[in-house]
Amino acid sequence: MEKLTRLTTEQRENLAAYLDGELDDDATRQIETALAQSTVARNDVEMLARTYELLEMLPRPRASQEFSEKTLAVAKLTDVRADFRRSRWYRATQRGLRWTGWAAILVAAACASYGVARYRLPRHENLLLDDLDVIQKFDRYEEAGEVFFLERLGRDAALLEKMTEESGRAIQ
């Protein structure tokens, strides 16, 4: 007596592909072995084959031209993306970036101006420090009198030494 074995779930799912000839060799052999051993499996395949035959007999409905056009139009609309550059958030972001850019340029110009004014332009105090030796000896230069005497003093090193020695004694 023949065993009443049923097809596995996987084999049952592959029956339609078996009837269409779309299965690979291993899956085809498995189903053929199951069909050879089980009348239940053969019955399932016969029922599926009859269902296919009945479906082939039914008239095939045709979609109207209007339905086809609408379907294609909807499909095209889903493919086309809206231009994000026209959106409100994009324009607001661009405007904000523009203002931020100008503000950054203004801050950079202010920092550069401050740096130039602080470190490059001469300050009154620095000019006085450059002339510190002259300022400290201003009283001596005033006692010297005219420029003619100072020029003569600059040419005569011996006279300059003599005056330096005398001023050193006077200070002590």
**pLDDT tens profile 67-84:** 888 888 887 776 666 777
Residue scoring higher pLDDT (6 or 93): 93
- Would you call 40 exposed, middle or buried from its count of C-beta atoms within 10 A (0-12, 13-18, 19+)? middle
pLDDT of 170 over the 70 cut: no
Q: What is the mean pLDDT of the chain?
A: 82
Average pLDDT in the 26-45 region? 86
Q: Which of 57-61, 97-101, 105-109 has the lowest mean pLDDT?
A: 57-61
State pTM to two decimals. 0.35
* pLDDT tier, 105 (very low <50, low <70, confident <90, very high otherwise): very high
Q: How many CA atoms lie within 13 A of 119 on its CB side?
A: 6
